[in-house]
Structure 1
Amino acid sequence: MSYSVEDTIKILEGKFQNIKFNFKEFEFGGYIPIFFISPKDSKSLEKYWVEISNTIAIDYQARLQDEFRAWNIYLFFITNFPIKKELKYKIENDTFSSRKIVVENNVDENLMINEHIINIITVSNNQNEVRDKKFTPNKILNTSLKDKILKKERVTKTAGEAYQELLEELKTSENEI
């Protein structure tokens, strides 16, 4: 028996009444199921995130026929309140069933997808501004490493000397180390 995503959302809303759920499927090399989960407060998030993840895994993910979908499920936990670092770390580093991301500001769903799935980061409204910036080498590094050959060995004598020279130069400049 296969549950539809609508059935899964109804199950979630029935179990977790103080949490809002939304679903979107995004095409990116295949279809990626994305659940947007918005708890009312941090206690609800802390208390229910594991159970929500398990419910999605059992009632939705386990019933998927498409392996790409099954292996690429995202859960975005969206809050309008600060989250303890420990809780955010615990949620985002849980590897069971899906990728979990905690977003502390209620951001547009498409922006979350761009940043966390496609890895597009909006740096500026003017895209040409970013492209026009030219690379300029760091004067200290450039001077210290000029004409030195650093081989792919653990630490060559030249690499060690260059490192020491850089440290000394950085100590005498305004840079912090």
Structure 2
Amino acid sequence: MQHETLYKEVELDISQQLVEAYNCTEVKILQVNFVGNFFVIIVRFSSIPDLNESWRKINSVIAVKFSQYLKTEFEKYNLYLLFFVDEEVPKQLKYEIENNKFSSRKIAEKCNRQLTDDRIREILAQYITNSDISITPGADSISLEYTSDSVVWSLIKDQVYQKDKSGESFAEILNEIEKKLSYEI
């Protein structure tokens, strides 16, 4: 069963301020209801140089001006800042952005499609809630038998699968393991 992610767009002055000050083409602030309430701020750029020049500044502005809207610990811990640009984000820049842990979790991706309601749901499912992942049980494909090439396993594997779990047999195995391993040290 796929969980429907509910969100609403929040209109705040900070959205327009960011567009005007930092060369971004669009800013959307979403309040998402998935397990709890949290915020996702989507910032779009038309070019990599604009993203590279502005993402740190936007991150700082969000940390200072948006924190007043975060009421619960859950909201504070789960603030997402998604940077989208019309072209492929270079790996080095993507790494730098996504590994910056100041104030929010960040994602930097190519997204040249219009941010429709369906596209926003796809983005939330893909990058945040993982509700696009389908897990089906496959008992046939799971092996319940342990295997290893280790010296210890070679000595105990027969005892592990026997019904008789007497302490004497394990004591003998332990002595044998100590002998074998003392030669390796």
TM-score category, normalised to shorter length = 0.5 to 0.7
User: Deviation digits for residues 54-93 of structure 1, max 9, x if unmatched?
Assistant: 11111112x1251232332101111231111110000000
User: Deviation digits for residues 18-75 of structure 1, max 9, x if unmatched?
Assistant: 43111211012321111111100000011100011111111112x1251232332101
Q: 2:65 aligns with which of 59, 66, 70?
A: 59
Alignment of 1:20-169 (within 5 A): 20-61=26-67, 63-64=68-69, 66-67=71-72, 68-106=74-112, 108-122=119-133, 130-131=136-137, 134-135=140-141, 137=143, 147=157
Read off the aligned partner of 1:110 and give its amino acid letter.
R
Over 3 Å counting, the alpha-carbon distance change for 1:65 and 1:47 in structure 2 is closer
Q: 2:13 aligns with which of 7, 17, 25?
A: 7
What are the ranges of 5 or more consecutive residues in structure 1 without an aligned counterpart? 150-156, 158-177
- Write the distance in 2 (CA, Å) between the matches of 1:70 and 1:143: 45
Aligned-pair distance for 1:106?
Answer: 4.3
- Write the distance in 2 (CA, Å) between the matches of 1:43 and 1:76: 16
The answer (yes or no) to whether the contact 1:34–1:73 under 8 Å persists in 2 is yes
| Paired-residue identity, % | 22
Identify the structure with the greater strand proportion: 2
Over 3 Å counting, the alpha-carbon distance change for 1:10 and 1:131 in structure 2 is same
Read off the aligned partner of 2:122 and give its amino acid letter.
L
Q: Give the secondary-structure state (helix, strand or coil) at the position aligned to 1:51.
A: helix
The answer (yes or no) to whether the contact 2:23–2:54 under 8 Å persists in 1 is no
- Write the distance in 2 (CA, Å) between the matches of 1:17 and 1:54: 15
Read off the aligned partner of 2:64 and give its amino acid letter.
I
TM-score by length of 2: 0.63
Question: Number of matched residues?
Answer: 143
User: Deviation digits for residues 104-131 of structure 1, max 9, x if unmatched?
Assistant: 23472212211222223446xxx8xx55
Read off the aligned partner of 1:7 and give its amino acid letter.
D
What are the ranges of 5 or more consecutive residues in structure 2 without an aligned counterpart? 1-9, 114-118, 161-176, 178-185
CA RMSD of aligned residues (A): 3.2
- Write the distance in 2 (CA, Å) between the matches of 1:101 and 1:41: 16
- Write the distance in 1 (CA, Å) between the matches of 2:29 and 2:70: 18
- What corresponds to 1:152 in structure 2? none
TM-score by length of 1: 0.65
